[in-house]
Amino acid sequence: MSGVARRIVHGLLGRITVGRLTVVEDGMETVFGAGDGPRAVVHVRDAAAWPWLLKGSSGLGESYARGYWDTPDLTALIRIAARNTHELDEVRRRLGPIREPFQRLRSARSTQTQSKKDIARHYDLGNDLFELMLDPTMMYSSAYFAEPGMSLEDASLAKLELVSSKLALGPQDHVLEIGTGWGGFAVHAAKTTGCRVTTTTISREQHDWAARRIREEGVEDRVELLLQDYRTLEGSYDKLVSIEMIEAVGWRDFGTFFARCSDLLKPDGTMLLQAITMDDRAYAVEKASKSFIRTYVFPNGCLPSNEVIAKALRRHTDLRMVGLQDLTPHYAETLHHWRLNAEAAAGRLDALGYDERFRRIWRLYLAYCEAGFAERRIAVVQSVLAKPAWRAELPDVAAVRHLHATAG
């Protein structure tokens, strides 16, 4: 079985045209590709790896979690894969119409109960994990490296300033945030702009952390924290912020999400959406796939595409897009920082009960995403969406960048 699988995988690796991959097994080296691009070395520790590698990215993840293979540079390995998948992408696109009915059967609409379970499987893994991996702002989303050499913390603060600036937040505003995280945006916006913030999460761990942070920062009079699903929210708000929460909504509920956001905004309101997106042409294939990320890290998650967002806005809201900024390179750098932080804290994570298998899965997850952004297999964008009565102007991003530089 392993021998047959090895021959098949070797045949596939023989199609590498960009980059160079060296596979080392039983002291023997086999080199695939020789062109320009990333270079990586894989050490096969157990022949049981080969059958797993025929199962796509989920098999890649499971075989790595079991220690069947290793590499000194996971990111380079994934970048090689990303640059050599054009033929496979085309085959998968052609199979899209055939797979569609099975995807629909496998992916029911996400109920509030299921959403809470899915969120708990990722965000309730323990605040210690995220505290060791993230910077002191506890922002678990792309930072904004406005100037060269910025620290991760400064870049996270720059991102928060960018959000506040695009929405022109001030003391007159009541802002709704869907997806509290650990309270980073709510606290920062209340302290720096004087606005009122109502923020909601369905993660118990995040809620408890954010509640303590709001008290310690002395903004309880300006920040209301809810433990509530976005579908049950009520009220009317001047501005709305959602930073990388839409990925947890599920592909069958994007319309519901945007409709609710639109209904919660005043007639002249605006919304800042930061979203991880995939290529429009990959969406039909990837939206319900049994990928490594969906299987091991974000159960039932789904990245929208720009086209999907545009269609949802058109069909379910009266919102229009008035601003769009690509932050993709910033996310690759952000993930690189997170990965280094996690590696530096490996001993402490082990002592806290995050065993070797867990750490390997998360090491691969962080490298997988870093490579995805670096190769633009995935992207991250900030969109400003406005209601029909909005008549203001968006700030100049270059001016905002200068503000960050002078403030630093």
- Reported as a single tens digit per residue, the pLDDT across 141-150 is 999 999 999 9
Cα atoms in the 13 Å half-sphere on the side-chain side of 391: 1
Helix (H) or strand (E) holding 262: helix 254-264
Residue 405 pLDDT exceeds 60: no
- Reported as a single tens digit per residue, the pLDDT across 354-403 is 999 999 999 999 999 999 999 999 999 999 999 999 998 888 765 555 45
Q: Quote the pLDDT of residue 401.
A: 54
**DSSP SS3 for 362:** helix
Domain ranges of the chain: 2-84, 112-407
Handedness of CA 177, 112, 107, 55 (dihedral sign): positive
Q: Give CA–CA dist 149/406, Å, rounded.
A: 14
Asked if 369 is an active-site residue, the reply is yes
How many Cβ atoms sit within 10 Å of the Cβ of residue 149?
Answer: 7
**Which pLDDT band holds residue 120 (cuts at 50, 70, 90)?**
low
Topology, domain 112-407: Rossmann fold (3.40.50)
Q: Quote the pLDDT of residue 88.
A: 54
CA distances from 162 to 242, 275, 385 (A): 14, 15, 15
Q: Active site residue: 195, 261, 302, 369, which one?
A: 369
**DSSP SS3 for 304:** coil
What pTM was computed for the model?
Answer: 0.90
How many Cβ atoms sit within 10 Å of the Cβ of residue 189?
Answer: 28
Structure tokens at 184: 């980073």
What is the residue whose two structure tokens read 């995403």? 369
